């Protein structure tokens, strides 16, 4: 039995990941979110630890951590200094710091058990390509996730601790729909050679592969799911 903790499981990509994994035999999944699983507010510094402890009680052990929870909020540079910094720090806290804390808890858990484990971080195309002038913080938080993933992969592979990342482009979730509508959907879609945004299930299948069956030699890999809108 593989025990998995998935953050941000209530909707969008997270809900699709939960559906794909829950349909597989031999998996016990605990989700995080207000509509599913264990609620925890990642804007609160106490949130990640509370989630980890509750999930560990429910599962007994955790074999796979999937960091998917995140926010995508405007933060224009003409806001007041205090408001801009608050917007920056909120996104960093939820998207990057909470993920880092959970990764740390997971690595230490596996070291204590001498068992190995897997981390899959859901980042974004923005980690490599950047994002809009209102979303410096979002791009920076996702670039941080990718760098963190690679650091974990390099640092702990010898202990059987594997780390991967997935970088979706636009995905047909509520968050992406709002962004497309606010910035002219047709123009943005023209920048995607595939001609459409990804379905959540496409991203979920990539995550499920990394979480369960990707070979250990793939540790440190980042999988792009963006319709060739950014290739590297």
Catalytic residue (one of 138, 156, 209, 230): 138
- Spatial CB neighbours of 165, under 8 Å, sequence gap ≥ 6: 120, 121, 122, 123, 145, 146, 149, 150, 221, 222, 223
Q: Which two tokens stand for residue 24?
A: 């597989």
φ/ψ of 229, rounded to 5, equals -75, -15
Is 209 designated active site?
Answer: no
How many H-runs (helices) and E-runs (strands) does the chain carry? Answer: 9, 6
Three-class DSSP category at 172: coil
Active site residues: 138
């Amino acid at each position: 039995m593989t025990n998995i903790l998935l953050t941000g499981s209530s909707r969008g990509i997270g809900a699709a990941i939960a559906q794909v994994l829950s349909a597989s035999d031999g998996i016990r999944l605990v989700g995080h979110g207000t509509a599913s699983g264990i609620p925890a507010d990642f804007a609160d510094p106490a949130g990640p630890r509370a989630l980890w402890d509750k999930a560990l009680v429910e599962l007994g052990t955790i074999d796979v951590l999937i960091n998917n929870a995140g926010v995508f909020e405007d933060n224009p540079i003409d806001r007041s200094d205090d408001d801009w910094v608050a917007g920056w720090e909120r996104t960093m806290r939820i998207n990057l710091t909470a993920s880092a804390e959970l990764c740390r808890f997971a690595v230490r858990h596996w070291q204590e058990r001498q068992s190995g484990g897997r981390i899959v971080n859901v980042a974004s195309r923005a980690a490599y390509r950047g994002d809009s002038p209102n979303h410096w913080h979002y791009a920076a938080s996702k670039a941080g996730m990718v760098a963190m993933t690679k650091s974990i992969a390099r640092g702990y592979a010898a202990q059987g601790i594997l780390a991967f990342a997935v970088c979706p482009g636009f995905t047909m979730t509520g968050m992406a729909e709002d962004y497309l509508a606010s910035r002219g959907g047709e123009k943005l879609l023209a920048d995607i050679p595939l001609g459409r945004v990804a379905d959540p299930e496409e991203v979920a299948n990539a995550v499920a592969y990394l979480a369960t069956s990707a070979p250990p030699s793939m540790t440190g890999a980042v999988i792009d799911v963006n319709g060739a809108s950014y290739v590297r």
